[in-house]
Structure 1
Amino acid sequence: MIKKASTKPGTKAAPKATGKGAAKMAVKSQSKKAAAAKQPEHKPDTLPADLLSEPADMTVLNRLYDVVLSRKGTDPSVSHSARLLSRGTYKIAQKFGEEAVECLIEAVAGRKDLLVGESADVLYHLIVLWVDAGVTPDEVWAELRRREGVSGIAEKAARPKETFAKKGK
């Protein structure tokens, strides 16, 4: 998810270990630091506050696409987008479907504020699906422009009819 970076006031640091526990923690900490040094610099899945104040338009989706695309093939432990992409098309599609259902539930319940948040979740997961499938936003925008000004009924009627073979035959 793209979220505004924040800190939680009132959170306490974990208690420090002593004795053998402290030594183990120090070794783990050094191992993590060494592993982090080998990893390419990770950009967090957050946007700077100045970008959050810009008017929302398709450039927001284009930037989000670029962020998700940049996470493809990176360490799944440091990025939600990388983790989703590493799990494969089936899991990405499943998550997109879950978010779509949550969006529908909020729409039916008439909870506009929650519908807005769920809609953002749907768009994010759709973009992850696009990255996985090799679809670019420009391809989608071009298809929307092609359909602009055409009756939805006429456009749907003009689509080629697909026939599906029945299973087992």
Structure 2
Amino acid sequence: MSIHDLAATIAARKAADPDSSWTAKLLAKGPEKCAEKFGEEAIEAIIEAVKGDRAKLTSEAADAIYHLLVMCAARDVTLADIESELASRTKQSGIAEKASR
């Protein structure tokens, strides 16, 4: 599954019955719960990165990406929106981009 497929699945689940889909259930709990879940998964990925277990980091990174996209979907931010932002950043150096914030 590509990240685009994942984003499309998450978008489709926004209208699904929360009893039939984990994604729909999470989205039904609201953006705050989605953000909390992303935070938990991000911390788990950080822990595995520090430990150095490649397989566990891969698994936790996948969970973090999924929950990041769910959190964004809860606030109607699409993968296309994120890609557009990333594309705008490629026009300047990372140092210049950081300084502009």
1:1-169 paired onto structure 2 within 5 Å:
60-148=2-90, 150-159=92-101
CA-atom RMSD in angstroms: 1.2
CA distance in 2, matches of 1:108, 1:116: 13
Q: Deviations over 1:19-41 (max 9, x none)?
A: xxxxxxxxxxxxxxxxxxxxxxx
Number of aligned pairs?
101
Letter in 1 for 2:36: Q
Distance 1:89 1:140 in 2: 17
Question: Gaps (5+ residues) in structure 2?
Answer: none
Amino acid at match of 1:110: G
Listed as ranges, the gaps of 5+ residues in structure 1 are: 1-51, 53-59, 160-169
- TM-score, with normalisation over the residues of structure 2? 0.93
Q: Deviations over 1:50-104 (max 9, x none)?
A: xx5xxxxxxx111111111111132111101001000011110000000000000
Tell me how far 1:151 sits from its aligned partner. 2.1
Q: Percent identity?
A: 45
Q: CA deviation at 1:149?
A: 5.0
Distance, in Å, in 1 between the alignment partners of 2:31 and 2:97 is: 29
- Alignment-mate amino acid for residue 8 of structure 2: D
SS at 2:12 equivalent: helix
Q: Conserved in 2, the CA contact under 8 Å of 1:76 and 1:86? A: yes
Q: Is the 8 A contact 1:92 1:129 kept in 2?
A: yes
Q: What is the deviation of 1:150?
A: 2.4
Secondary structure (helix, strand or coil) at the match of 1:141 reads helix
Q: Which has the larger radius of gyration?
A: 1
What is the one-letter code of the residue matched to 1:83?
K
Distance 2:73 2:51 in 1: 31
